[in-house]
Structure 1
Amino acid sequence: MLTELLSFRGRYKILHMTWFAFFLSFVVWFNLAPLATAIKADFGLDEGQIRTIAICNVALTVPARVIIGMLLDKYGPRLTYSLLLMYAAIPCLAFAAAQNFGQLVAARLALSIVGAGFVIGIRMTAEWFPPKEIGLAEGIYGGWGNFGSAFSAFTLVAVASFLSFFPGAFPVPDGPLLNWRLAIAGTGIIAALYGILYYFSVQDTPPGKVYQRPASARGMEVTTVRDFWFLMLMNVPLSGILMVLAWRLQKVGFLSPSAFTISILALIGLYLFQAYNCWVVNKDLLAGRKQYPAEDRYAFKQVAILELTYIVNFGSELAVVSMLPAFFEGTFGLSKALAGMLAASYAFMNLFARPGGGLISDKLGSRKMTMGILTLCMGIGYLVMSSIPSIRDSLGGGGSFMVVLAVILTMACSFFVQAGEGSTFAIVPLVKRRITGQIAGNVGAYGNVGAVAYLTLYSLLPEGDIGNSIFFQTLGIASLIVAFLCFFILKEPKGSFAEFHEGEKEVVAVHGHPSILPDDQSARIL
């Protein structure tokens, strides 16, 4: 596979076009942070207002990933990804044209939906690669696409500076002349154009292969009554974390007490609506009118544990990326620019670590053990990072040696974090084929649940070494707990290293061309 990866034909063309679609969605999703200083100065915003806009950037990503997963299973990744990328231009243009704080918030809320794009490529990649190669393929998709966030951070200021020759540039105090409006609008326009190209360049499945869809995409299908109630329990944090976001918006004065109350009632209604849709999908099972044969069942606990792994790996990544520049700046007395550059080493590891985690999952022979080992090492890594202030003090201060050591420890920890993400999505497509989109959506949404939970905790901790140590210790302990669940409760998926996915077999006699069809259809053709 590694040698074929350099080609741009067949399934590798699909992989390359799909990871680049994810890359662009993340460039759009993360286009705020690099230009936040210019936006803050242009509108005269205070720190609470700019943080509110940053919160809005992730607010709707949680429900969007769940909804996108449903649409994906019903309509396929080609149409879903194309429409999402074309949609990205609308909130980008609205944000670029905003004239007041309220318009900035509304546009950013709409733009947060674009962060759900990751889910789509998980199923597209799974349709084109067999289980035995799914880890590396999903790792490349996730790792190279995820690099869009770092690309945004490193290039958008330069792009906005270059575009300052056009009308609309704004002089940042003690900084360059930036045309932030045109830069943000440009990311959305590029994404929309690529969405059109993507639609006409890819297919949902290889020729002759049938795209498996659930009977209904209104809610997640489960195969036992006990799993239905487990599903209801695991859906609670998806609405609960949005309540935490609403609380934070009230704390910064964006929501009035009455608006906060309305938001809480609306989120309770959202949970009940989601529960109702799940009941509609599974009502025959609950009433005893339907039973699944043993070979068609799956254990929902598999999904639940993968949701927890994504909380501790991707959730912690988003949280750490947000606080790491301030951590380096405060711990070692570095300038903002240097601290930001050193912190970027964490995100850079995505290029190698996430594919590496998927490859390890493919080669180790046990996806369960890979998941457990990487999560365990991640927990140890965070606990080591929590001791950086103590190590600094024991060495007599924050000299250049200590800074280099801290960067090495950070990169080592980030490898296990992002490799764990790759390992998670090496398992997701193997749990239950026809609802892969919904499983990926729920697991992906839990990553955002983790990010908001961790960042909320961080905002409540004391500033300085004590707060940083407690933060990293929390990440480490949570990871160790989830590692225990992986070792002792997570099950190895059936057919983890098979030639074909669940319900498929090779047919070599369809009009003289090899094809892959579901077992029930292949029997009729033969």
Structure 2
Amino acid sequence: MSASNFNIWSFQGKMKTLHLSWVAFFITFFVWFNHAPLLSLIAESLSLTPAQIKTLLILNVALTIPARIIIGVVTDLYGPRKTYSLLLILCSIPCFMFALGNSFEQLALARFLLGFIGAGFVIGIRLVSEWFPANQLGLAEGIYGGWGNFGSAAGAISLPILALAFGGDDGWRWAVGLTGLISFIYGIIFYRTVRDTPQGATYFKPKSAKAMEVTSVGDFFLLLVMKLPLFGALALLNWKLSPAGVSLISTEFSMLVYVILAALFVYEVIAAYQVNKSVFKEKVEPIHQYSFKQVAVLNVLYFATFGSELAVVSMLPLFFSETFGLDVIYAGLLASSYAFMNLLSRPLGGWISDKYGRKTTLIILTTGLSLGYGVMALIDGNWPLFLAVAAAMSCSFFVQAGEGAVFAAVPLIKRRLTGQIAGMTGAYGNVGAVCYLTVLSFVSYSTFFAVIAISAFIGLLMLYFMQEPKGEMAEILPDGSVELIKVS
């Protein structure tokens, strides 16, 4: 996988930015999923029930839904350097809180807050897009996402070993706390070593931080429709935590949350209208138009790809342990094979997308994703263990290559909105995770995998509406002139 002036071994210019970015993303995933391979030890240490363990899994991905939207806006306004650094430093705090927790309630609060670190991915998407041309962008974003995503696999491999090395009932606490310390230190390093853009380049900012810009009346209403699942997932989480679910919050508090979510949705509608009311009065010049339909399709695809990855990474150690009767370390090592594929599959998905087209690549990979989860739905204790692991790794290839292909297209829609678009698409991944993990709390592992396979097939049908990015997109420079940025 080589391209002109793309030397993966270089640590100068754009390659330096790429390497520093994927390491930052790696650390966010290392911290975000530092609990997954340790769940058995944590449950034994604090006498947690299976229902409480599954609740922690859901809480871990919940806050990332609004966080990715917020971080996308902040990134577009203030730049990736400041945003990523601050995120890494601040999120070390709930990591330390989790390491020191002595009750389910304390662990639940810390895991909920730690969901914010999952928004780090959005920042790097904008940063990498500033440094790489369109014909290298898929590969660069794939390396950023794939190598960074490997943080969860690294945690699955190393954290149980670290916990046992520290020893005793508190071994898991030291392992988790160490990940928080790494996050804090790297936040400082990132701030001191990264630039938002190459020397002399313009960093384009959105016209408003209140809502995403659209360029037609139809796109305005589609934007509102696509906001609904984001609020729906939060409402689903609220229901899960209420007395109707695991009774972590009271009925009164649950009703208050529903009211707040409804009020926030109304606010979002009003803000979207205020930012985009001009499209109801006059048409946007063709050179400045973009199709929000592109964003909607990519949202659905990321729901199925990254949403399933988050859910499967969270539950796979338990799946292997319970299905094949394995101990915690061995199950964690086998489960890491799923995330291990990120090292090559996500960059490969981006590279294929650069070479053969965004839409064609997504059609092929989404088909494989749906079939792969269909196969995983058939796994039971009678399967040879090596065959089950092979099935998980094969499915993982299509999942993560699909993620690479999705974010090979995201930065080619509208440069100044890249953070916001990446934030919404990324949030849909978390919506998928919440939905899938909620399904898992009610059904068998087999049904869980089958549900993912069906949702991926729906994403495949949605690709009919996607258009291949072509030509150039226009951005307005500070002096009022127009800069054309190639997208093909």
TM superposition score normalised by structure 1: 0.86
> What is the CA–CA distance in structure 2 between the aligned matches of 1:146 and 1:192, rounded to whole Å?
19
> What is the CA–CA distance in structure 2 between the aligned matches of 1:97 and 1:332, rounded to whole Å?
32
* Equivalent in the alignment of 1:431: 413
Cα distance, 1:99 vs structure 2: 4.3
In the alignment, is residue 122 of structure 1 matched against residue 114 of structure 2? Answer: no
> What is the CA–CA distance in structure 2 between the aligned matches of 1:89 and 1:321, rounded to whole Å?
21
Cα distance, 1:84 vs structure 2: 0.5
Q: 1:519 to 1:416 in 2, by over 3 A?
A: farther
Q: 1:8 to 1:240 in 2, by over 3 A?
A: same
Which of 65, 68, 73 is equivalent to 2:76?
73
Cα distance, 1:326 vs structure 2: 4.0
In the alignment, is residue 150 of structure 1 matched against residue 153 of structure 2? Answer: yes
* Equivalent in the alignment of 1:381: 372
> What is the CA–CA distance in structure 2 between the aligned matches of 1:96 and 1:403, rounded to whole Å?
33
Which of 291, 294, 310 is equivalent to 2:286?
294
In the alignment, is residue 490 of structure 1 matched against residue 466 of structure 2? Answer: yes
In the alignment, is residue 475 of structure 1 matched against residue 452 of structure 2? Answer: yes
AA aligned to 1:489 is F
Which of 74, 86, 89 is equivalent to 2:89?
86
Q: 1:158 to 1:11 in 2, by over 3 A?
A: same
In the alignment, is residue 111 of structure 1 matched against residue 87 of structure 2? Answer: no
* Equivalent in the alignment of 1:409: 391
Cα distance, 1:448 vs structure 2: 0.7
AA aligned to 1:485 is M
Cα distance, 1:348 vs structure 2: 0.7
> What is the CA–CA distance in structure 1 between the aligned matches of 2:350 and 2:51, rounded to whole Å?
39
SS of the residue 1:200 aligns to: helix
* Equivalent in the alignment of 1:198: 190
> What is the CA–CA distance in structure 2 between the aligned matches of 1:21 and 1:337, rounded to whole Å?
26
> What is the CA–CA distance in structure 1 between the aligned matches of 2:283 and 2:348, rounded to whole Å?
40
- Note the residue ranges of structure 2 that are not aligned, 5 or more in a row: none
SS of the residue 2:441 aligns to: helix
> What is the CA–CA distance in structure 2 between the aligned matches of 1:322 and 1:108, rounded to whole Å?
13
After superposition, residues 7-156 of structure 1 pair within 5 angstroms as: 7-156=10-159
Check the 8 A contact 1:123/1:429 in 2, yes or no. yes
SS of the residue 2:408 aligns to: helix
Check the 8 A contact 1:86/1:195 in 2, yes or no. yes
> What is the CA–CA distance in structure 1 between the aligned matches of 2:197 and 2:452, rounded to whole Å?
39
SS of the residue 2:178 aligns to: helix
* Equivalent in the alignment of 2:481: 520
Check the 8 A contact 2:94/2:111 in 1, yes or no. yes
> What is the CA–CA distance in structure 1 between the aligned matches of 2:327 and 2:103, rounded to whole Å?
31
* Equivalent in the alignment of 1:372: 363
AA aligned to 1:191 is S
Q: 1:341 to 1:162 in 2, by over 3 A?
A: closer
Q: 1:129 to 1:260 in 2, by over 3 A?
A: same
* Equivalent in the alignment of 2:274: 280
Cα distance, 1:294 vs structure 2: 0.7
In the alignment, is residue 188 of structure 1 matched against residue 170 of structure 2? Answer: no
Check the 8 A contact 1:504/1:519 in 2, yes or no. no
* Equivalent in the alignment of 2:473: 502
Cα distance, 1:331 vs structure 2: 4.5
Deviations 1:182-222 (A, max 9, x none): 33232222212211111111111111110011111211100
> What is the CA–CA distance in structure 2 between the aligned matches of 1:272 and 1:314, rounded to whole Å?
28
Check the 8 A contact 1:224/1:285 in 2, yes or no. yes
* Equivalent in the alignment of 1:168: none
> What is the CA–CA distance in structure 2 between the aligned matches of 1:54 and 1:458, rounded to whole Å?
11
Deviations 1:286-325 (A, max 9, x none): 3x1x431011111111000000000111111122223334
> What is the CA–CA distance in structure 2 between the aligned matches of 1:141 and 1:197, rounded to whole Å?
18
SS of the residue 1:6 aligns to: coil
Q: 1:337 to 1:60 in 2, by over 3 A?
A: same
SS of the residue 1:216 aligns to: coil
Cα distance, 1:455 vs structure 2: 1.6
> What is the CA–CA distance in structure 2 between the aligned matches of 1:322 and 1:17, rounded to whole Å?
26
AA aligned to 2:450 is Q
Q: 1:252 to 1:374 in 2, by over 3 A?
A: same
After superposition, residues 326-475 of structure 1 pair within 5 angstroms as: 326-364=318-356, 366-389=357-380, 397-398=382-383, 402-461=384-443, 467-475=444-452
Q: 1:413 to 1:14 in 2, by over 3 A?
A: same
Name whichever of 215-224 and 328-337 sits farther off.
Answer: 328-337
Check the 8 A contact 2:287/2:473 in 1, yes or no. no
SS of the residue 1:217 aligns to: coil
* Equivalent in the alignment of 1:317: 309
Q: 1:351 to 1:518 in 2, by over 3 A?
A: farther
Name whichever of 56-65 and 183-192 sits farther off.
Answer: 183-192
> What is the CA–CA distance in structure 2 between the aligned matches of 1:440 and 1:37, rounded to whole Å?
34
> What is the CA–CA distance in structure 2 between the aligned matches of 1:326 and 1:38, rounded to whole Å?
12
After superposition, residues 246-265 of structure 1 pair within 5 angstroms as: 246-250=238-242, 251-265=245-259
Which of 257, 260, 271 is equivalent to 1:266?
260
Count of residues in correspondence between the two structures = 479
Cα distance, 1:475 vs structure 2: 1.9
Name whichever of 47-56 and 308-317 sits farther off.
Answer: 47-56
SS of the residue 1:210 aligns to: coil
> What is the CA–CA distance in structure 2 between the aligned matches of 1:518 and 1:422, rounded to whole Å?
35
Cα distance, 1:521 vs structure 2: 6.6
Check the 8 A contact 1:504/1:517 in 2, yes or no. no
Cα distance, 1:337 vs structure 2: 4.4
> What is the CA–CA distance in structure 1 between the aligned matches of 2:302 and 2:26, rounded to whole Å?
19
> What is the CA–CA distance in structure 1 between the aligned matches of 2:269 and 2:230, rounded to whole Å?
12
Runs of 4 or more consecutive aligned structure 1 residues displaced over 6 Å after TM superposition: 516-519
Check the 8 A contact 1:208/1:517 in 2, yes or no. no
Deviations 1:3-50 (A, max 9, x none): 611010000000000000001111111112233334334434333333
